[in-house]
Structure 1
Amino acid sequence: MPSRPPGSTTQLLNRLRMRQVALILAIDEARTLRGAAESLGMTQSAASQMLHELEETLGEPLFDRVGRGLQLNPAGQVVLHSFRNLRNNMAALTHELHELQLGGSGKLLVGCIMVAVPTHLCTAIVNLKKAYPLLSIEIVVDTSDRLVRMLRDGTLDVVIGRMPVANGSLEQDCLFHSIGGEVIVMVAAADHPLLRPAKKQISFKALLSYPWILQPRGSPSREVIEQELLAHHAAPPLGLVETTSILVAANLLAFENMIAAIPLSIARPYEQHGILKILPYAFKHTLTDWGCIVHRDRTVGPTTQEFLRLMSSRC
């Protein structure tokens, strides 16, 4: 289809349909017109006609055929980016309308990595509730990579975590404000064999003799562990347990002489209460800073702005 100059913005708004927006997003995910049509509950012929009408409206073909699939061309990439922003704004609109249905009290959806919970998050939440006593707050504690995916999907308003790296670069659709750093330590039960007799330093080889508890693959702290393994030309020990829950990790440490990798700020209170001990091993690799992450193309409401201010002023 030969390209032609697009019409005015008004003409585009009059002709563009939200179903067409959903189709482009579905094709990008499914990579085939058939798969996109099935996900939207329509026939392939109807999806093909809808795509043709959209390309006519925009004056540009959006896809190149690669085998049996579809691949976005440069014009398609531009359109996809705009449609993703539109989806994000619709998610924000849905959230704001839901707040109105709650009588104006509103709801804040926060994703947070565990390192920020005892040091920053709780203080910020307490102070935020003083300013907005009717505000409902939902907190999801998980790894940064998972939380940022939820942010991009509109499930969260703000993430307290580390900016994931995708394809060698930071996520371009997110804004990041650094708050603090953290180190990872290995911990074990107070009566673990590695602590008998007391040593000033434990070798990495000695750690490999016991089953490990780690955060799931893809999380920043897991990447530090994998870099450490690579530096020592070692494979992960057998019997590995993966969990994002510090509660699960702390309870598992009492069994089978397991050891776990957790943030130092989380480990210290557990050690002070005699629940576990920090092993004398210093990692060669460190984590990147963590901070506040919001979506670049989504409106930040007043309660979220105040929460971000409280998180930043806490450091």
Structure 2
Amino acid sequence: MKFMNRVKLRQLEVFVGIFQRKKIAAAAASLGMTQSAASIALRELEHSIGAALFDRTTRSMLPTKAALDLLPIAERMLRDARLAVGMFRSGSDPAARLGIAVTPTIAQTLLPGLLQEFLRHHPDVEVDILDVPPSRFVMTMVSGQADLGLGYVGAEEKDLRQHRLLSDQLCLVSRRVPGTPAGPSPTWKSIQNLPLVLIQPGYGIRALIDDTAREAGISLKISHEVSLLTTALAMARIGLAHTIAPSQIAGMGMFPDLDARRIGAPVVRRDMSAVFAVDRSPTPVALKFLSHCRETLKRAPLND
């Protein structure tokens, strides 16, 4: 309660704005404030919590560890405040709102189609999309910022209740060359000398790839590292390098010129799931969306 009494929502808005835009002036402009007013709000927030939130440089504001810890709390408080204001202004039913946390790759591939059909049958539902990096996905769900999440989550995540939607597997993804006959199915040993573009360590499926390569006794030839799997797929599409990705993502229509072949010895599976926080009861509209996802994706091949 003391934290709530000292901290104002406007200060949190300024903090989140600076975190996103890296500059006080840009954050102030987006909030309709003067730069000096934004600077004062940030200083007051830092004084209230007793920690510096940014390291100031001549070019940008670099978030500190305290800022990274505060960000999910601030985003949740601001989201709840907007929800409360919108609910009482419009008289809308809070049960008709759905917050979905999703990793960028799912946001750019599977989610749009799922949402389009769902909203066609449920036009009264207001949807908030929180597209977050994989490193913040679990925290976003556990902290209650979203009602439901969609992503690739390891079985070791005990804070999340998982409902498998797709059973997928890792594939070698390459540029498709028309008229070229399909070669033998690749193995982890056979791809070790191929130039690969992979997502950076600590992101998404990278840990799974590294663990599998280590268990196979090989060292992969990584020519490029990127933050988003869709970037890796786009680079593979023009033939810059090969990549490794789940087959369902590689087979999406936005990447029509790619060839995805299951990597064997061993076959590595990666389930895409809908998730809920274990200590929170799913909302009725979240359960409706889960049912919709299951029905829509059941036509996709499951590799059990």
| TM-score, with structure 2 as normaliser | 0.59
Q: Supply the AA of the counterpart residue of 1:110.
A: I
1:181-220 correspondence runs (5 A): 181-191=167-177, 198-219=182-203
For structure 1, the residue ranges without an aligned partner over 5 or more in a row are: 1-16, 24-37, 45-85
| TM-score, with structure 1 as normaliser | 0.58
RMSD: 4.2
Choose the corresponding residue for 1:135, options 125, 128, 131: 125
Q: Supply the AA of the counterpart residue of 1:157.
A: D
Give the structure 1 partner of residue 99 of structure 2: 109
Cα-to-partner distance string for 1:183-227 (whole Å, 9 max, x where unaligned): 1111111249xx977522345344232331223333452233112
Give the structure 1 partner of residue 157 of structure 2: 170
The Cα shift of 1:181 comes to: 1.0
Residue 227 (structure 1) aligned with residue 211 (structure 2):
yes
Query: Aligned partners of 1:296 and 1:116: how far apart in 2?
Result: 23
- Would the alpha carbon gap of residues 300 and 99 (structure 1) be closer, same or farther in structure 2, given more than 3 Å must change? farther
1:73-92 correspondence runs (5 A): none
Give the structure 2 partner of residue 267 of structure 1: 250
Query: Aligned partners of 2:265 and 2:81: how far apart in 1?
Result: 45
Query: Aligned partners of 2:144 and 2:161: how far apart in 1?
Result: 15
Give the structure 1 partner of residue 151 of structure 2: 161
Residue 94 (structure 1) aligned with residue 81 (structure 2):
yes
Cα-to-partner distance string for 1:34-67 (whole Å, 9 max, x where unaligned): xxxx9752497xxxxxxxxxxxxxxxxxxxxxxx
Choose the corresponding residue for 2:236, options 253, 258, 264: 253
The Cα shift of 1:97 comes to: 0.8
Cα-to-partner distance string for 1:9-45 (whole Å, 9 max, x where unaligned): xxxxxxxx3428999xxxxxxxxxxxxxx9752497x
Residue 152 (structure 1) aligned with residue 142 (structure 2):
yes
Query: Aligned partners of 1:99 and 1:297: how far apart in 2?
Result: 26
For structure 2, the residue ranges without an aligned partner over 5 or more in a row are: 8-43, 51-72, 299-304
Q: Which moved more, 1:227-236 or 1:91-100?
A: 91-100
Residue 41 (structure 1) aligned with residue 24 (structure 2):
no
Query: Aligned partners of 1:184 and 1:98: how far apart in 2?
Result: 45
Q: Identity of counterpart residues, as a percentage?
A: 14
Q: Supply the AA of the counterpart residue of 1:276.
A: L
Give the structure 2 partner of residue 64 of structure 1: none
Q: Supply the AA of the counterpart residue of 1:189.
A: R
Choose the corresponding residue for 1:293, options 268, 271, 275: 275
Q: Supply the AA of the counterpart residue of 1:100.
A: M
Residue 276 (structure 1) aligned with residue 258 (structure 2):
yes
**Number of corresponding residues:** 236
Q: Supply the AA of the counterpart residue of 2:251.
A: R
Query: Aligned partners of 1:261 and 1:143: how far apart in 2?
Result: 19
Choose the corresponding residue for 1:308, options 290, 294, 298: 290
Query: Aligned partners of 1:286 and 1:203: how far apart in 2?
Result: 11
Cα-to-partner distance string for 1:278-309 (whole Å, 9 max, x where unaligned): 24642514235332212234454443232223
The Cα shift of 1:182 comes to: 0.6
Native 8 Å contact 2:170 2:270 kept in 1: no
Q: Supply the AA of the counterpart residue of 2:162.
A: F
Native 8 Å contact 1:177 1:291 kept in 2: yes
